Amino acid sequence: MNVTTQAPAAAARPQRRLPQEFNILLVLVGISLVFEILGWTLMGQSFLGNTQRLSIMILQVSVVGIIAIGVTQVIISGGIDLSSGSIVGATAMISMSLAQVGTYERAVYPMLTDLPVIVPLAVGLGVGLLAGIINGALIAYTKIPPFIATLGMMVAARGFAKWYTKGQPISFPTDSFAAIGAGMNPVWIFLAVAAVAHVMLRYTRYGKFTYAIGANPQAARVSGINVERQIVKIYAVAGLLSGLAGIVVAARGLTAQAGMGTMYELDAIAMAVIGGVSLAGGRGSVIGTMIGMVIFGVIISGFTFLRLDAYYQEMIKGAIIVAAVVADVYRQKKRVKKA
């Protein structure tokens, strides 16, 4: 007697998983609906119906979003960058000092006025790039933990920003420099950066190497990847984007102060983690970070809409960051069990 057994058809078919970004998008929709309901219940107003509020929200988080794109790549590689906000402050001061109109008599370097806009742009980006290279070199070649290396850069860059003009703010930029931050230009700059970064991470060797190092640096080294050089590149890109964010925030505010960018690094990390970037490395995407950025903006805008005091907002923001990290740890444990 021949007995044939057939496996269930469902078992033979591979299960399709929805992209992680889809789940994050559902979270965004859920949070938005909660604020919409609370708005009508408590305020008698629509949260989502006010397009001006939403555009202001996107504009406010776009500068930090530029930093978050760089931080995303760092975290995917298994690192961390705490220096982003301080680099923003340093590059804002330097770029603004080189974007002065001739009628403004400055206390520092008064001869450098009415320069072409390419000069403050190039110098600001160069300073951010240099800071990122120093971070990457320290981490890659001295084996200092990323937390310590970037913490040192955070303190040094902030001190440099204060020393550069003895703590005095710099204002009155040229019209061409101010145009960088005018209107919705910061949003368009962010979208351009995000598009380039998405292509880099998903379709180039740079991206493949970054994910490989984050997943298993030893296996990446054995496979022929120059891990040290790639780490320098990753932190250089993060520093470059922090420099760009410093230029944008200075142009948008028409002034530069040494304290600019304070806490930006933590907000950028929060956006990335909320967007599904794993602090363990090897997982995450630019699209997820973009959704995380919008979630972050919706939460802050929603709190303001509900007239929640600023100190309550900070406490709740901290709780959200911790919750995102806890969720990441849970995902990692679940992934290990399935493996």
pLDDT tens-digit map of 76-114: 999 999 999 999 999 999 999 999 876 544 445 555 567
Distance CA 167, CA 151 (A): 21
* 108: number of Cβ within 10 Å: 13
Q: Work out the pLDDT band at 126, boundaries 50, 70, 90.
A: very high
Q: Would you tell me how many other CB atoms lie within 10 Å of the CB of residue 311?
A: 8
Helix/strand/coil for 273: helix
* 259 pLDDT higher than 70: yes
Report the range out of 40-49, 217-226, 298-307 with the highest average pLDDT: 217-226
Residue 178 tokens, joined: 């101010």
Q: Encoding tokens for residue 282?
A: 């090897």
Residue 70 CA to residue 22 CA, distance in Å, equals 22
The structure tokens listed for 85 are: 């906000």
The answer, yes or no, to whether residue 10 has pLDDT greater than 50, is no
The pLDDT assigned to 41 comes to: 87
For residue 234, is pLDDT > 90?
Answer: yes
What is the pLDDT averaged over residues 213-224?
Answer: 93
Which pLDDT does position 118 carry in this prediction?
95
Residue 112: what pLDDT?
A: 59
- The full length of the chain comes to 339
Inform me whether the pLDDT recorded for 18 exceeds 80.
no
Query: With the C-alpha atoms ordered 266, 272, 273, 279, is the resulting torsion angle positive or negative?
Result: negative
Distances (CA, A) of 328 to 23, 80, 282, 324: 13, 15, 12, 6
321 has pLDDT over 50: yes
Residue type, 322: V
User: What is the overall mean pLDDT for the chain?
Assistant: 87
At residue 1, the pLDDT reads 47
* Res 142 pLDDT > 60: yes
Alpha carbons within 13 angstroms on the beta-carbon side of residue 218 total 0
CA atoms within 13 A on the CB side of 206: 14
State percent of the chain over pLDDT 70. 90
